[in-house]
């Protein structure tokens, strides 16, 4: 599985989550809500250190990852994160690997 992020969403993470170069951002499954890949679950985001990463990427010195225990949520899809000016925040899209 791959994680891709647009340049403008990187700037959003830096500003809104106060993420600095060398730090880590985790994407994880959380109970509640819905998504295009799992009904009853949504995607959570936190500043965190990896323990057992199943997927990871680095962009602008920031490391983004998904833990092994959360990989089921993506159901074989890649995670594509872009910036939405409409919501002034990240927009998550999923594509089959």
If one looks up domain 3-96 in CATH, what number appears? 2.60.300.12
How much of the chain exceeds pLDDT 70, in percent? 100
- What distances in angstroms separate CA 37 from CA 16, 23, 85, 92, one per listed residue? 26, 27, 23, 11
Residue 37 pLDDT grade (very low, low, confident, very high; cuts 50, 70, 90): confident
| Domain spans in the chain, listed from the N-terminal domain onward | 3-96
Residue-wise pLDDT for 45-79, tens only, equals 999 999 999 999 999 999 999 999 999 999 899 99
Who contacts 8 (Cβ-Cβ below 8 Å, separation ≥6)?
82, 83
Residue 91 has pLDDT above 90, yes or no: yes
Average pLDDT over residues 80-89: 95
Please name the residue that has the structure tokens 């920031």. 62
């Amino acid at each position: 599985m791959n994680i891709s992020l647009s340049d403008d969403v990187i700037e959003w993470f830096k500003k809104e989550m106060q993420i600095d170069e060398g730090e880590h951002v985790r994407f994880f499954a959380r109970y509640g809500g819905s998504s295009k890949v799992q009904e009853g679950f949504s995607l959570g985001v936190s500043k965190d250190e990896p323990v057992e990463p199943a997927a990871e990427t680095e962009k602008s010195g920031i490391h983004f990852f998904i833990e092994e225990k959360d990989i089921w949520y993506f159901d074989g899809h890649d995670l594509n994160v872009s910036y939405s000016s409409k919501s002034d925040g990240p927009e998550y899209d999923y594509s089959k690997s």
